[in-house]
Amino acid sequence: MKTERIGSELQDTLVELADLASQAKQLHWNVTGRQFRSLHEHLDELTAEVRSAADAVAERAVAIGYAPYGRVGTVAVRSSGGTVDPSRRSSDGGAPGGTAGGAPPAVRNAARAVSV
């Protein structure tokens, strides 16, 4: 039963990380303005780091015998994160805004979940 509980927590974390990576890439594609280059590069790096963390979480789940699901449909249904509205821009024409909600608990606890 403990494996199921830990696996479920890892699954929740995987969903949130997959959603965060997708949103970071969405922002990356829509950056404009004075700080375009630095934001564009930073968001690319962030996306790569989040995807790497998601991979580690999924591998940890498999290692304990839990089958992770990171498909788009699963993420869309289960994520508690906000959304990015690419039509909204910051006052300097930079990165899109309109994110709803803060970082979900599963994302804040991702490092802890990976080290389980």
Question: How many percent of the chain have pLDDT more than 90?
Answer: 47
Distance CA 106, CA 42 (A): 22
Q: What is the mean pLDDT of residues 47-75?
A: 93
Domains and CATH numbers, the chain: 2-114 (1.20.1260.10)
Residue 57 scores a pLDDT above 90? yes
What pLDDT shows up at residue 100? 38
Answer for the pair 107, 50: CB distance below 8 angstroms, yes or no. Answer: no
Q: Which residues pair with residue 96 across a beta bridge?
A: 89
Residue 113 scores a pLDDT above 60? no
Instruction: Annotate 62-90 with DSSP letters as a single string.
Output: HHTT------HHHHHHH-------TT-B-
From residue 53, how far is each of 13, 18, 31, 95 by CA, in Å? Answer: 10, 9, 24, 24
Q: What is the mean pLDDT of residues 39-53?
A: 95
Least confident of 45-54, 65-74, 98-107: 98-107
pTM (two decimals) = 0.71
